[in-house]
Amino acid sequence: MAGSHHGLGTDTIQFANGLVEVQAGQSGAGKSERIVFEKPPPPITMKQPGLCRWSFRVSQGGLLLWGLLFLFLVAKASPPPGYSLIWADEFNGTSLISTNWGYRYLGPRNDAVNVTNAVAVTNGALVITTYTENGTNYTGMIGTSGKYAPRYGYLEASIRWGDAPGGWSAFWMQADTMGNVGNPHTNGTEIDIVEHRARDSNNANISNQSVANLHWDGYGANEQSVGTGLVGSGLASGFHTYALEWTPAIQRFYTDGVALYSVTNSTALDPLAPAVAVSQTSEYIILSSEVHNANWAGTIPTGGYGSLATSTTKMTVDYLRVYQLTVPVAPANITGTLLSGGKLVLTGTNLNGGQNFHYVVLSSTNATLPLANWKFLSTNSFSPDGTFHYTNTLVSTLRAMFYEVKAVP
């Protein structure tokens, strides 16, 4: 569901390419919402609960209808103020949306085989089933690699776990260059927004809790990682929301709308844990279930998990939504001074003032490249008066270089 404010007026539903567009006036609140959704419509979530009265006009094939729609809107977990929905999958169809998702690592992986038939979209949800046939375990993994990869924002999924011993499920992110060692801000990190197990390595029941973790510098001898340990409660049943708030300066992890863990970016080129590298590059989204016997998720049950038809070992995702932060004013009055020795000094002012804002510096030798492909240089806080001062000592005077400075709350 996407929303943006506009003037109050007659509400319209237009049918085009299978989409339904609703322009709705919210009576008595002095607000309005614009909602676009696929048929059948996903649950409508407002930031404030209450009874809304919508008038609407339907026009299709020359037929004109009038009506009134009354909705009691219940507040659910929502992003912090200032975020707008930019991407979502409500899993309301009967199959994966191919422009959103692809299958990952098909074939053997640890102690299971990733297959496409372990992944289904049914009854308004994505379901990944882990099952066993003829002594072989099967499961599934999907991702948005090559299709969608946000950088920064607020990502939230509503998930119900059905994990069993020997396996785990996760909602996470990764960049293809994460395995490179030495500059995790640019190479990216593995961001485990939530990982859930039924058992730990000692086969103790931990199904009511989950973990969040960050990994960088690959998975070999140079790997660095930090994480929460077990957090949350009552997660073994029902749907719960899991979210990541990601800015250049911080990453904050939420369960059911409560922030349970946060990290702050280290400006070191290659931070060593417990210092943290907050990724400054685009990363794609992954939803997965995996099996690894006698590892961190305990021991596979005798006889496995049951057939595809009978297994209850399922990861069920009601929705996945991505929100982007709207920054009202970017830095202004930026001045660049090149000093002897190739030292560049950038100074400027954020017109919003300095409180609760950070600046991000990017560079590129090609000004026409999308910003997602520019190199991350630095992030830091504005001074209390809203000014900033950045020095880059690695400037080459032999070629043109372009710089971008952005303000981020």
pLDDT tens digits for range 73-111: 333 567 887 788 999 999 999 999 999 999 999 999 999
Give CA–CA dist 383/358, Å, rounded: 9
- Is there a contact between 137 and 304 (Cβ–Cβ < 8 Å)? yes
Residue 6 lies in a domain: no
311 and 336 share one domain: no
CA 23 to mean position of chain CA atoms: 27
Q: Is the per-residue pLDDT at 386 higher than 80?
A: no
Give the pTM: 0.67
291 and 375 share one domain: no
> Lowest-confidence range among 60-74, 114-128, 192-206, 355-369?
60-74
Q: How large a percentage of the chain has pLDDT more than 90?
A: 56
125 and 267 share one domain: yes
Alpha-helical segments (H) within 164-240: 184-187
Residue 244 lies in a domain: yes
CATH number, position 385 = 2.60.40.10
- pLDDT at res. 83: 85
Residue 232 lies in a domain: yes
Does residue 6 or residue 316 have the better pLDDT?
A: 316
Residue 7 lies in a domain: no
CATH number, position 201 = 2.60.120.200
250 and 128 share one domain: yes
395 and 273 share one domain: no
Mean pLDDT of the chain: 77
Cβ neighbours for 3, distance < 8 A, ≥ 6 positions apart: 33, 34, 35, 84, 85
- pLDDT at res. 69: 33
- pLDDT at res. 161: 98
205 and 262 share one domain: yes
pLDDT tens digits, one per residue of 143-162? 999 999 998 899 999 999 99
Domain boundary among 305, 325, 345: 325
Residue 5 lies in a domain: no
Domain boundary among 24, 46, 76: 76
234 and 194 share one domain: yes
Domain boundary among 295, 325, 355: 325
246 and 351 share one domain: no
Residue 370: which domain range? 331-408
List, in sequence order, every beta strand (DSSP E) within 199-283. Answer: 211-216, 224-227, 240-246, 250-255, 258-264
400 and 362 share one domain: yes
Residue 67 lies in a domain: yes
Per-residue pLDDT, averaged over 338-352, amounts to 64
Which helix or strand (DSSP H or E) is residue 61 part of? none
Which helix or strand (DSSP H or E) is residue 276 part of? none
Q: How many domains does the chain have?
A: 3
SS3 (DSSP) at 335: strand
pLDDT tens digits, one per residue of 273-291? 999 999 999 999 999 999 9
- pLDDT at res. 154: 94
Residue 133 lies in a domain: yes
